[in-house]
Amino acid sequence: MSKPVVAITRPKDRAQKACEIVEKLGGEAILAPTLDLQPVNTDSLKELVARKDELDWIIFTSPTTIVSLNKFHPDFLKTLNCKLAVIGNKTGKLAEKNGLTVDLMPEDFTAEGLVEEFKKSKITGKTIGIPRTASARPVLPQELEKLGNEVILAEAYKSLFPMDQNAVKTLISKIENKEIDAITFTSPLTVENFFEIVDDKDKIAKLLSDNLLTVCIGPITARVLEKYGISYIYPDTYTVPDMMELLFKKLNE
């Protein structure tokens, strides 16, 4: 039996681990990033850094935030003196690698999951910094403000349309030629950008439902797949390793 071919659409700088897992589980990984991430030193990020001593909490929602802060403000993390919340194991591990202690990480790796933890802990009247991408969903800052907190939003990186569109077009051809067994999506933008490049959206959506196993990281990404009428599965724990384990379990049934 030939190796199952699995398409990885996550940003190139985050895709290595996913590709390694696919190969370890006996598959062949095809990398076609539908999203690129670029750290940026914006005025809002500079303001957050300047107001560091006012912070009661800081929230890191992705590893790219930490990469950006280290690149532009290398002393920031070393002198941070507030509580830290993170979304996701990978973000938490990178924070700890940078000498930080993670005070709060929700079991549900979503903004909603983190908000629930803040509600349970009755965290209110605090100043909370959230460095992230400007295209992130508004639910986290909005809900934290509803709890009576002051939120300082800062743009730490940009989520860009894929710079290598040829790789995505090649992937689309392979999907049409039935050369792909499964495809993975790890954020709403990986789906949206993919379909921005697709010409015949209905045709590809049908192929993703009928000819491929479509796997996403969790319910937030799933909502975008539903918009295109695509059948999907996602793991109970919203991580890349769990997503891949589920993918190969399904393929081997």
Is 1's pLDDT higher than 60?
no
- Tell me which amino acid residue 207 is: L
Domain with CATH 3.40.50.10090 in the chain: 5-35+162-251, 38-160
- At 250 the pLDDT is 96
pLDDT in tens, 86-141: 999 999 999 999 999 999 999 999 999 999 999 999 999 999 999 999 999 999 99
pLDDT of residue 152: 98
Residue 163 has a pLDDT of: 87
pLDDT digits (tens, 9 = 90+) for 129-176: 999 999 999 999 999 999 999 999 999 999 999 889 999 999 999 999
Question: Region 37-65: what's the mean pLDDT?
Answer: 97
Dihedral angle sign, alpha carbons of residues 187, 190, 195, 196: positive
Average pLDDT over residues 214-234: 96
What is the C-alpha to C-alpha distance for residues 52 and 80, in angstroms, rounded to an integer?
A: 7
**pTM to 2 decimals?**
0.88
14 pLDDT band (50/70/90 cuts)?
confident
Three state DSSP letters for 69-89: HHHHCCCCHHHCCCEEEECCH
Average pLDDT over the chain, rounded to whole? 95
Is the pLDDT at 253 greater than 90, yes or no? Answer: no
In total, the chain counts a number of residues equal to 253
Question: Which residues contact residue 29 at a Cβ distance below 8 angstroms, ignoring those fewer than 6 apart?
Answer: 6, 8, 18, 19, 22, 23
Q: Measuring CA to CA, which residue among 242, 223, 192 is closest to residue 21? A: 242
Q: Which two tokens stand for residue 46?
A: 């500079």
Q: State the Cα–Cα distance between residues 158 and 68, nearest whole angstrom.
A: 10
Report yes or no: 30 and 6 within 8 Å, Cβ to Cβ: yes
CA separation for the pair 65, 40 (Å, rounded): 10
The hierarchical CATH code for the domain 5-35+162-251 is 3.40.50.10090
Answer yes or no: CATH 3.40.50.1820 is held by domain 38-160. Answer: no
